A = this chain, B = another copy of it.
Amino acid sequence: MKNTKALILVLFMALTTINAQEMQNKLSLMPWPKNVSENTAKFYINSDVTISVFGEDQGRVRNAAVNFLRRLTNRTGIFLKNGFPSFNDDSANIKVYFSSIANLSIDDDESYTLEVLENSIIINANTDVGALRGIQTLLQLTSYDNSGYFFNGVSINDAPRFVWRGLMIDVARHFQPVEVLKRNLDAMASVKMNVFHWHLTDDQGFRVKSKSFPKLHEIGGDGFYYTHSQIKEVVEYASNLGIRVIPEFDVPGHATAILAAYPEYGSVKDTTYTVERNAGIFNPTLDPTNDKTYEFLDTLFTEIAPLFPDEYFHIGGDENEGKHWDANPEIQKFKKKHNLKTNHDLQTYFNIKLEKILNRLGKKLMGWDEIMTPNMPTTAVIHSWRGENEGFSKGGTLIDAAKNGYNTVLSAGFYIDRMLSIEHHYSVEPIGDVSLTTEERKRILGGETTMWSELVTPTTIDSRIWPRTAAIAERFWSPKEINDIENMRLRLEVVNFRLEELGLTHIKNRDVILRSMTNNNDISALKSLSNVCEPLKVYSRNAGGTEYQTYSPFTLFADACVADAKDAVAFNSLVSNFINDNKDKENVLNYLNLWAKNYGSFSKIENNPNVKPLKDLSKNLSEVSEKLANVISKETLDSKTLTSIQENIAVLKAPFMDVELAILDELESLISYCKSNYLTN
C-alpha cells in the first residue's frame, strides 16, 4: 500500500505542475489499481498489434478482446492488420492468460496482473472476468507523443476492495430501452463495476412482460416494458462483461402499478388503482394477509425468476408506511390473531413467506434496509440506504446489518439522482474507522449507486449517471487510501470523455437539448451558462413530487445542466488562489470577461419560449461579471458600484428554471475581497 500512496503523491505533484495536455497523456487510470509501478517503456501501437487469448474461452474474453481492438483502432486511427483476436498464439504481442471461468457470484476472483513492456504486454488472471478487468486497465493506458500512440509501461497487480460494485437503474419511473442499459453496462465494465441492479417495478410502472399476468405489463407498464427475450439479451450482454444482474420487484409497497392491473391483491378492498404519475411515497400496498397474494407472487416469480441466473433477488420492501394496512380492519384483526404487533412485524411475516418462495426458486432474498427487523432471517441481504443523515448512528444500517449477521450492500451516500457533487460521493467511506471483526467486515459486500429515474429520460440519464459513477466505482474498487479529490478530478476528466467511445450520451445530449430549446439557433450563450449552472439538488427540483410528472418535459435548461458544472469547478479554485495566494488574477478575469459577454449573445435568442425565463440569469450574470472585472482590474470599488453588484447577486440567488448558479459563493467571496481591499468610499 505504501508504494501506491507514494506513487499517487508523486503523480499528483507531477500532474499539478505540468499542463493539461501532458496530464492527459499521463496515467488516467480509474479505478486506481491496488499496486502500480511505472517503467520507462512505451509500447507503440502500430498496425502489427495482435492480441491472443490463452485459456478455455467461453466467450467473455473473446468478446472483450474484439471490443478492445475496435476501441483501440477507433481511438488511435491505426489500421490494424488483424481485426480479431487469435487463440493460444505465442507470437501475439498482447497476450491474455486466465485459467478458469468465473461463476458470476460474490466469490469470484477478479484479480489480475498487467505488464506493459516495450514489445510485449501480458495480462494474467485466475478467471476470465479478472482478464476483462485487466483489458480495461490496458485501454486506459493509451497515450500519445510525437511518435504516435502508445501504452505506458507499467507493472500492475490489482484486485478489488469490495466484491459488490453496482449501479442501480430505475426503469419504472421512466422506462429505459435496452440500448440505454447496454451502453451503461459497457460503461460500468470500463470502470470495473460488476453488479447491475435492475429496479423493474414501482408505483409508476411494471416493466416486465408477464405471460401469467398480462395486465401487469399492459396496464401496469403503459406499453413500456421488456419482453423475456430482451431481458435474456440484457442478462447475456452483462454476463459477457462480467456483470451480474439483480432484478428488483418492489413489494409490498411501491406497488401501485401492480394493483392498477390486479386490484384484488391490494390492501383496500373493492377499489381500483391507477398507475401513479407523480413522484413520492404512495399508499397502495399488497395485502399480506391474503393467501392469494402469495399465490400471485409465487406464480409471477416462478415465471420471471428463471430469466435471471443470479442467486440474489431483490424484493424492495422499502418505504411502506402501512397506511392502507391501518385502514383495513381485517388486516388489523389478522395482526392481532398472529401476534404481529407492528406493521413492521406484519411486513416481516410477508418477507419470510417471500423468502420461502424465492428459496424454492433457488434465490436469496435481498431488500432495502427496512427488511432488517428482529425476526428477519440473516440469510437475507440488507441493502443499506439509510445512514447518519436519516437519523442512524455512525455507519448507518450498513454497519448495523454487518453486526447483526447480515450480508450487506451500501447505497446511502451514493444516491446520484440527488445531483450532488462528485466530491460528496467520492468522500463517502463505507467503513471508515468503525471497528469490525473479520467476519463482520466480510459481510460488507460493497456498494451501489442508485439512479432513481423520476427526473431522467433516455435522453438525459447518461449525464446523471456519468461521470460521477466512475469516481464512485473507484471508491468501491480501490484501496481506501486512494481519496485525493483533486487527483481524482484530473483522472475523471479523461475517463469522462473516453466514455463517449461506448456510445454514452452524457456529453453530446447536452447540446441536443440546447439546440432544441433554441430551435436550432446559436447555442453558445446557453452552453456557457450551462457550464456554471447546476440542476437543483436533493429533490428540490421536484418539491413534493408533483411539479414533474412522469410525462413532463425533460428537455429544459436544467436537463442540459449537470452536477459539478465545469466552469464553476474551475472558477472555484482560481478564486481561492486569487484571494488566498494572490495568484491567477488573469484567469479569474478571463472567466469574468467571458460571462460579461454572455447576455450579448443570449439576447439574440431570448424570444424563444424556453429561453426567455433565463433572461434575468444571463443579464445579471453579465452585469455582475463586467462590474467585478472592472473593479478587480482597476483595484478600486465605489459604494455605488458595490450596491449595484449586490443587487445583481440578489437576483442571481433565485433559482431559474430549476437550476442554481453554481458560482454564487465564489462571486460573493470576490465581492468581500474587493470590499476589504478596494472600497474607496
Contacts and interface: CB of A to CB of B under 8 A. Distances in A.
A73 B500 contact: no
Interface in A608-644: 608-610
A222 interface: yes
Contact of A555 (B63, B77, B84, B505): B77
Given A80-B551, A83-B550, A551-B69, A74 B509 contact: no
Interface stretch (A372-380, A411-419, A513-521): A513-521
Interface in A519-546: 519-521
A608 B144 contact: yes
Contacts of A25: 519
Contacts of A511: 508, 511
A79 B501 CA distance: 34
Given A144-B609, A551-B83, A74 B516 contact: yes
Nearest to A145: B607
A76 interface: yes
Nearest to A146: B607
Given A553-B74, A607-B146, A521 B277 contact: no
Q: Give the size range of A's interface with the partner.
A: 35 or more
A373 to B, nearest CB: 38
A250 to B, nearest CB: 22
Given A178-B179, A227-B229, A24 B77 contact: no
A73 B178 contact: no
A569 interface: no
Interface string A186-225: 0000000000000000000000000000000000001100
Contacts of A607: 146
A512 interface: yes
Nearest to A59: B223
A148 interface: yes
Interface in A221-239: 222-223, 227, 229-230, 233
A296 interface: no
Contact of A76 (B178, B505, B515, B609): B609
A552 interface: yes
A530 to B, nearest CB: 15
Interface in A11-50: 21, 24-25
B519 A24 contact: yes
A521 B21 contact: yes
A75 interface: yes
A74 B509 CA distance: 13
A554 interface: yes
A554 B74 contact: yes
B222 A84 contact: yes
A280 interface: no
Contacts of A520: 24, 493-494, 497
A63 B553 CA distance: 18
A70 B83 CA distance: 41
A345 to B, nearest CB: 39
A305 interface: no
B610 A77 contact: yes
Contact of A552 (B24, B73, B609): B73
Contact of A277 (B83, B222, B500, B515): B83
Nearest to A62: B223
A307 interface: no
A516 B148 contact: no
A70 B553 CA distance: 8
Interface in A495-510: 497, 500-501, 503, 505, 507-509
A78 interface: yes
Nearest to A509: B508
Interface in A338-374: none
A668 to B, nearest CB: 30
A492 to B, nearest CB: 12
A483 interface: no
A88 interface: no
B501 A516 contact: yes
A66 interface: yes
A144 B177 contact: no
Contact of A177 (B179, B508, B553): B179
Contacts of A227: 229, 233
A510 to B, nearest CB: 10
Interface in A51-108: 62-63, 66, 69-70, 73-80, 83-84
Contact of A549 (B83, B148, B500, B516): B83
A149 interface: yes
A556 interface: yes
A149 B609 contact: yes
A277 B77 CA distance: 18
A509 to B, nearest CB: 7
Nearest to A547: B79
Contacts of A519: 21, 24-25, 144
Given A21-B521, A177-B179, A555 B75 contact: yes
Contacts of A229: 227, 229-230, 233
A493 B230 CA distance: 36
Contact of A556 (B62, B77, B501, B508): B77
Contacts of A517: 77
B512 A508 contact: yes
Nearest to A229: B229
Contacts of A83: 277, 549-551
A225 B346 CA distance: 50
A555 B78 CA distance: 10
A597 B519 CA distance: 28
Nearest to A148: B609
Contacts of A458: 503
* In the complex, the 6 A-B pairs of residues with the closest C-beta atoms, listed nearest first: A83-B551, A179-B179, A229-B229, A497-B520, A508-B508, A74-B555
Given A74-B555, A144-B519, 10 more contacts: A24-B519, A73-B551, A74-B554, A77-B517, A84-B551, A144-B608, A148-B609, A459-B503, A497-B520, A507-B515
